[in-house]
């Protein structure tokens, strides 16, 4: 009698486990794409850093933001073209930018302050386009020149992907 009741209990538990597995499988299979976060290159980048990755023949800069970037973002607003990039640390936790400057030359990431940048202009790490000499902040926004005249909106770095905070 004891053996029979344990056998029934095990069958019930296995049945419940199978139903739970099916429920999870259907939830994942039929959930909207935005509901799941698929593993991508930005998840391997440490928050507060930038890393270049290669996708096929293209180079891509992945910038992942930490809390301090929101302060830097606002501090740079008067020195950069604020409309030149849709990437914002308030909205995004990571952004991907095209790494190609033109003619196969790769945009460089600079941690140290560029020598040609005007002394009173803050630098919180960023990018330089070797073909034009243009400087960009970590959000892909174009710095103004020595006279603080800002370049046209189209001159910002090309953002390929912005990973939203809720993703």
pLDDT tens for 7-56 read 888 899 999 999 988 888 877 676 544 334 444 667 778 888 888 888 77
Bridge partners of residue 130, in order along the sequence: none
Contact 22, 15 (CB under 8 A): no
Domain co-membership, 19 together with 99: no
Q: Which uninterrupted H or E stretch holds 9?
A: helix 2-30
Residue 10 is part of which domain span?
2-35
Place 151 in a pLDDT band, splitting at 50, 70 and 90.
low
Domain co-membership, 86 together with 130: yes
Domain co-membership, 92 together with 157: yes
pLDDT digits (tens, 9 = 90+) for 94-134: 888 888 887 778 899 999 988 888 778 889 999 998 888 88
Our count of domains for the chain comes to: 2
Q: pLDDT at position 37, please? A: 40
101 vs 64: CA distance, rounded Å? 21
Domain co-membership, 58 together with 132: yes
Domain co-membership, 23 together with 50: no
Domain co-membership, 11 together with 58: no
pLDDT digits (tens, 9 = 90+) for 55-86: 777 888 999 888 888 888 888 888 888 887 88
Q: pLDDT at position 132, please? A: 84
Q: pLDDT at position 91, please? A: 87
Q: pLDDT at position 15, please? A: 92
Q: Which uninterrupted H or E stretch holds 141?
A: none
Structural tokens at position 94:
């990571």
142 vs 149: CA distance, rounded Å? 11
Domain co-membership, 87 together with 110: yes
């Amino acid at each position: 009698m004891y053996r029979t009741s344990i056998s029934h209990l095990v069958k019930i538990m296995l049945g419940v486990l199978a139903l739970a597995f099916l429920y999870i499988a259907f939830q994942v299979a039929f959930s909207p794409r935005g509901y799941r976060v698929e593993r991508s290159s930005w998840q391997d980048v440490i928050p507060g850093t930038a890393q270049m990755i290669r996708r096929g023949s293209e180079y891509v800069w992945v910038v992942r933001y930490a809390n301090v970037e929101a302060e830097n973002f606002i501090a740079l607003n008067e020195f950069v073209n604020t409309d030149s990039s849709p990437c914002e640390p308030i909205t995004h936790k990571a952004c991907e930018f095209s790494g190609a400057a033109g003619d196969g030359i790769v945009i460089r990431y600079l941690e140290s302050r560029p020598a040609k940048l005007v002394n009173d202009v803050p630098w919180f790490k960023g990018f330089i386009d070797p073909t034009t000499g243009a400087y960009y902040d970590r959000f892909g926004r174009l710095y103004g020149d020595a006279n603080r005249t800002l370049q046209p909106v189209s001159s910002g770095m090309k953002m390929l992907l912005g990973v939203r905070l809720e993703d």
